Amino acid sequence: MASTTIGFRIARLPHLWRSILDRRLAPLGLTQTRWVTLYHLWKLGEGNPQCDLARAIGVEAPSLVRTLGQLEEQGLVERRACDNDRRSKRIYLTPAAMPLLEKIDDVVLAARQEMLAGLSDSDLTQLEQWLALIESNGLAIQARDLEGPKN
């Protein structure tokens, strides 16, 4: 019977996680869209094309372009044309973004520690393995569904 609630719990966790972080990051003057974009750019590494950043975040490119424009206005990122394709833009953090990212990281790490309280290192390792397996199964199902029925 417990297995019937697993999907609901898995679906609820990202919303809960972001809600906690949003509330804690609001004093820094960042919307969810902006802090998520900055944080992903920082973790992904600078100089990535906009399309790669959009894929990593899980948003459509036009939404990301708007957010990057806002972050650029705040002096936190800059977009530079790619050497081999002038239409494509690579994203870089500015020096002004670093103190803000360190604050974001402190908030994220503290929230993660609180959310995972009561789990040992071996519990976390096992959880990571289970989540990876569930994700792998889901990706395989998605791929089969996209292929459609075989004749």
pLDDT at 2: 60
- Rounded distance, CA 65 to CA 40, Å? 15
Pair (101, 128) in one structural domain? no
Q: Which residues pair with 108 in a beta bridge?
A: none
How does residue 30 score in pLDDT terms, banded at 50, 70 and 90? confident
Average pLDDT value over all residues in the chain? 89
Tokens 């990202």 — which residue?
A: 14
> Quick check: 151 pLDDT over 70?
no
Pair (111, 138) in one structural domain? no
The answer to the question of residue 132 being in a domain is: yes
Q: Which domain holds residue 139?
A: 119-151
pLDDT at 51: 85
> Looking at residues 31-41, what average pLDDT do you find?
90
Residue 56: which CATH number? Answer: 1.10.10.10
pLDDT at 52: 87
Measure Cα distances from 127 to 6, 22, 73, 108, 134 in Å: 13, 25, 40, 19, 10
How does residue 62 score in pLDDT terms, banded at 50, 70 and 90? confident
